[in-house]
Amino acid sequence: MKKKLLVLLIVLVLAASMIVATACNDSGMIVKNQERDFTQVTAEVSYADRAAQVDKLELNATIYNFVYNYYNYYSQGYISQDYYRAVLDNIAESYDQANESLAKSEAYTLKCIDELYKLVQANGTDEEKAKADAAKTTGKAYSVADRIKEIESVLPLKDRIAAVEAYNKDRQEAFDTLREAYEKEIENASVTNKSTDNVKELVVTAPWKVVYEKGESLLENGLKVKVVYEDGTEVELERSEYTVTGFSSEEVKAEQEVTVTFGNTKQTFTVEIVAAKPSRPAQPKEDEEEEEKTEIPDLFEVDLDAQIEAAKADDPTLYKTLKEVKRRLEKQMSSNYREYSYYYLAALKEQAVTAYEEIVGKTASVTAAEITAEFNKKLNEQEQALLLGTSKYSDVSDASAVKSQIVHEDGKVFYVRNLLFKITDDLQAKYDEFKAEKVANDEALELYLNGLIDQTGIYVSNVEYDKDATCEEEECTCTACENYAGENPGPCTDPDCTCVKCPNKRYVTKAYAEEKGLDYDEETGTINILAALNAVVAELTALSEGGATPTEMIEAFDALTYMMNDDSGAFDALSNGKLGYGLSMDKSDYVPNFTALSRTLAYGGSAEDLAKWHVVGEGVGSFGWCYTSYGIHVVMLSGYALEDPEADGVTDLGEGLYAIAQDTITDYASYEPATEDDLAKGTVIYEIKEKLLSDKKDELIGSFKKEFYQKDVDEKAKITYYAKRYKDLIKQYQDQ
């Protein structure tokens, strides 16, 4: 079995070697013959009198990826060895199919180029028409340089910019990979090897950072290793002269030994792994219209030459590095018989297709009748589901692409924001254990849980902290930063430190406590949950009593949620804390206290209810708080989908059901009034229109492609295949 597996691996290596051709032969003639062989044309394409081609290298790269995927399936046990062997035995058919597919794809690209050319001639300026005419390749032999000029002449500006940016990114990534390898070589070459004989001991100074969150990587800033020899000589080691092993942050651990090894001598230091605390993504900002780009960037190689020239006088080391890595990149391309222009053309071709497909999709439109028909269809689906006895309203509304269209007679549909102060895992475990003992009734259980919640310490999130971020400062002054260039070990004590990696940046709990006059636990780094709750409620109450508008209340609530929500899931999965729960009918599948508080905010209630849920204000922007098994929820009413079953546009469907009008607001904060050109956002009718429009665009593009591949490619394209030119590649697969 092992022998067969080795053979299969050899096949893959062989396939890869066909892509990167060897150029280390003694004879220049052999190399030339290889180049001639690998760049043979396997398919010639003509469409609208424009020529294109597929070569052997491109074809084999496609097959290599195809075979490699099947090899992965085999190695992971998804397919049998016999099945994988059959793939190799039938590789000739795969080559033919791939060659045909690549050729037809080239024809489709020519179709898009031709259509873009026609648009320029129909709608372009005299200058644009002349440029496109001068660059067109009709009736000419295939040329990479000519095809580049042709596509550039017909691409809209934004698409040409996109093509250059995509190409630059691709080449920059290839360059960066080679640069990293080169700089590693230089680093290794500069090391002066020290003797590993007669070593008495290693003296290790632990890194400055010795406490890590679960999932973090080891930070070696401050780590120093000194070798002491038997004769008393002490020498500090370079980083490349010793290894560091044993670090893992996959599990919480009070003490974890990390081992430093030099030769046969080892020494350890200890770190602590603690539970990860949630870091926040970037705070949501108001949507800003992106400034339209009007300048085409320099191509990668042009910009690189400019960097090299700039470094020539100012930074000899950088100059040498950039020049050498450029040489290696060009050598790598040359060994594949490719040039910069090959990769640039690939980006242009892809963008030409994208550009014309976008133009095809723009012809999509949606009529008022179609919107109404879709609305009635969804309405009927929900009505039938409810009448057939579906127990949960949310199951019906969530299954539809259109939000909340039907409600029961007594039920407003409304939306709330939620800020959760979450109970800690250890206290939750205590509660679960107490509950399992079954020694208390429900009322006693609730009191016990509330008592545990009151003990919880909460971390106030620092919106600037991101444990995965990279500090941009080359010589950062924070001792915890990878870029720290100073000599002072120990934790950062600068209260104004701006480094994203600074441990002090994880939470603003202490600063927030000082600002609000709250008690702060130095040992745990937390504020008591009730103290934080009181601060939030006091801030919102002051706004409400000061006459803040509903929008201002919601914005303030969102900002507090972003800073103080101790449940990272609310940010990762539910749009940065904007949970927007939709609740209706007498029952909800959410927790009872949360539901009762939310319904009181939406419906109003007795003085006793308002006091029980600590309600402040009325209508949208009103809020309150409650205990639940999750912790403490602060809840704000953020919008209505239905104010009143008797309102205009509400249809009585019978059976106690009412249909919401199409233009009813579905979420207060997302509502935007209608403009002359569009519908009001945040409404059912707007959602229907956007969904229909998206589907129609996809259908139009799909029909355009289908028409081409099923009809045009046979009637209007001329393709000649040269299967003999890749028979040698087929044989090398089948002979293994």
Per-residue pLDDT tens for 9-36? Answer: 444 444 444 444 333 444 455 555 777 8
pLDDT average, residue stretch 489-502: 74
pLDDT average, residue stretch 343-356: 97
Question: Residue 572's pLDDT band (boundaries 50, 70, 90)?
Answer: very low
pLDDT average, residue stretch 307-329: 94
pLDDT average, residue stretch 96-121: 97
pTM: 0.68
Question: Which of 369-383, 523-537, 604-618 shows the lowest mean pLDDT across its residues?
Answer: 369-383
Which carries the bigger pLDDT value, residue 639 or residue 715? Answer: 715
Closest residue by Cα to residue 50 from 256, 384, 349? 349
Strand partners, 631: 422, 628
Architecture of domain 199-274: Sandwich (2.60)
* Greatest mean pLDDT among 358-367, 656-665, 727-736: 358-367
Q: What are phi and psi of 716, to 5 degrees?
A: -115, -15
- Chain centroid, CA 342 distance in Å: 29
pLDDT average, residue stretch 613-625: 93
Contacts of 538 (CB under 8 A, 6+ apart): none
Indicate whether 615 pLDDT > 80.
yes
Question: Which of 198-212, 400-414, 469-483, 515-529 shows the lowest mean pLDDT across its residues?
Answer: 400-414
What pLDDT shows up at residue 25? 46
> 3-class DSSP state for residue 605?
coil
Indicate whether 1 pLDDT > 50.
no
What pLDDT shows up at residue 573? 33
- Ranges in the chain annotated CATH 2.60.40.3630: 199-274
Q: Which contacts of 627-631 are long-range, i.e. CB under 8 A and separated by 24 or more positions?
A: 627/446, 627/449, 627/450, 627/453, 627/593, 628/591, 628/593, 628/594, 629/431, 629/449, 629/591, 630/420, 630/422, 630/423, 630/567, 630/591, 631/420, 631/421, 631/422, 631/423, 631/453, 631/456, 631/529, 631/566
Indicate whether 660 pLDDT > 60.
yes
Q: Are the beta carbons of 353 and 112 closer than 8 angstroms?
A: yes
Please write the tens of the pLDDT for every residue from 411-438: 556 777 888 888 777 777 888 888 888 8
Q: Provide the percentage of residues in the chain whose pLDDT is more than 90.
A: 39
